[in-house]
Amino acid sequence: MTLHTLSELIDEGVRGRYVLIRSDLNVPLDGSSVSDDGRIRASLPGIKALADAGAKVLLSAHLGRPKGTPEAKYSLAPAVARLAELAPGLNATLAADTTGPAAKAAAAALADGSVLVLENVRFDARETSKNDAERASFAAELAALTGDNGAYVDDAFGAVHRKHASVYDIAKLLPSYQGDLVRTELEVLTRLTTDTERPYVVVLGGSKVSDKLAVIDNLIGKADTILVGGGMLFTFLAAQGHKVGASLLETEQIPVVKDYLKRAEAAGTTFVLPTDIVVAGRFAADADHEVVAADLIEASSFGASGLGLDIGPVSGAAFAAAIAPAKTAFWNGPMGVFEFPAFAEGTRVVAAALAATTAKGGFTVVGGGDSASAVRTLGFTDDAFGHISTGGGASLEFLEGKELPGLSALER
C-alpha cells in the first residue's frame, strides 16, 4: 500500500491553500466537558503542522451517533473548546453548520494558519448513507469548501474502517494524504501482525464476545496467550459448562467459543480465563458484592440474579503473571466496569502489568476506546505504554485482516 504523507503535502507548499483534515474528535463527555482528551491531543500534531505551514485548515470530525440531524448533545463545541485550551495559538473556531451558509462564510474568511472546525459531519445523513450518490454529494460539498487548490488529509484512524463521505468519498475528489497519526497507527499494528516478537500476549475484554469474534479467530495460532475478561468472559465460562447467573451472556455464541477453545489448543495458543469473579447483586456503583469462584457464580449470596462485574484478585494476579514475560502485548477492552471504583481493580491490575512490561522493554499497545479511557481514568500516563491507539474498532478490523475503506481510498 503506497500512501502519500502529510510531510509530502507540506513540502509541496500549503501556505494560503485550504486543507481539509479529517480528525478524530469523538471523545467521551461529562456533561458539556471532555472527560478524556486523548484523541484530541493525538490529533493536535497534524493540525498544528498544517497551521504552522500557513494552511487554511478546515477540520471535519464526528462525535457520537446522531441520527443524521443536528442534536445539541452531539455538537463538537466541547471538543473544540478543549482543542482551543490545548493549543490557543491555533485560533480554532467552530462553524455553526457543516457545509451550509455558516461554514461557507467562515471558510471564506479564514486566515492563513487558522483552523475552522466544521460542525459534526454526522449531523448530515449523507455522511453515513449506504447510497453512494448521497455520500458523494456530501463529499462534493466538503470539497467545495477548499476552493480550486485544496487538499485532503485523513488523520482519523478511528474512522478509517468506515465507508463514510468524509473518510472515503472525499479522497476521490481532492489530492489526498495520510496523516502522521494514521501512519503511526499502521506501523504499530503492523508490528502486531508481522514478525511479532514473542512471547505475544493478547488481553481481550469489553462487554460482548461477538465484537471480538473475528479478531480472536485471526489471533489463534499467532498469539501465544489470550487472556479473557470483561463481560465477554461469561460466554467463555458458559462454553465450559458453567452457570453465570444474570451476567452478560451471548448464548448464540457459545458453539463458536467452544470451537475457538478447541482450535486454540491444537494451534498452540493458550486461553486464560478468570478463576474468580466479583459478583454483585445489581448494576450500580454502590452495589453489594463478593468474590466467588468462576464456576460458582450462582452459589454467591445473590444466587441466579448475581452479576459478574469484574475479574477477581486471584485472576488479576494470574493475568499479571501471564503478561510479565511478554515481549509484545496488545490489550483491548476493560476487565470489568471500571467506571465504578468497586469493580475497577481487575482493569487496574492489567494496566499496571502492561506498564511494568513496557518498563522492561516490552512493546505494549492499548487498543483504544474504553481501554484508553480506562488507563487514564485509573491514573496511568500515556507514556507508561508503548502506544495507546485511537483506533478502537478500526484497530480490531486491521487485526482481523480486513480492508479498511478509508485507507484504500488514499491510494493513488
- Catalytic residue positions, numbered: 39, 208, 369, 393
Nearest-angstrom CA–CA distance, 340 and 395: 26
Q: Which residues are annotated as a binding site for substrate?
A: 24-26, 39, 62-65, 122, 162
Q: Which residues are annotated as a binding site?
A: 24-26, 39, 62-65, 122, 162, 212, 308, 339, 368-371
Q: Are 335 and 229 in contact (CB under 8 A)?
A: yes
Q: Which residues are annotated as a binding site for ATP?
A: 212, 308, 339, 368-371
Nearest-angstrom CA–CA distance, 293 and 226: 20
Whose grid coordinates read 485532503? 152
Q: Which residues are annotated as a binding site for (2R)-3-phosphoglycerate?
A: 39, 122, 162
Task: DSSP for 157-192, please give it.
Answer: GGGTTS--TTTTGGGGTS-EEE-HHHHHHHHHHHHT
* b/e burial code for range 309-327 (CB count within 10 A of at least 16 → b): bbbbeebbebbbebbbebb
3 state SS of 378: coil
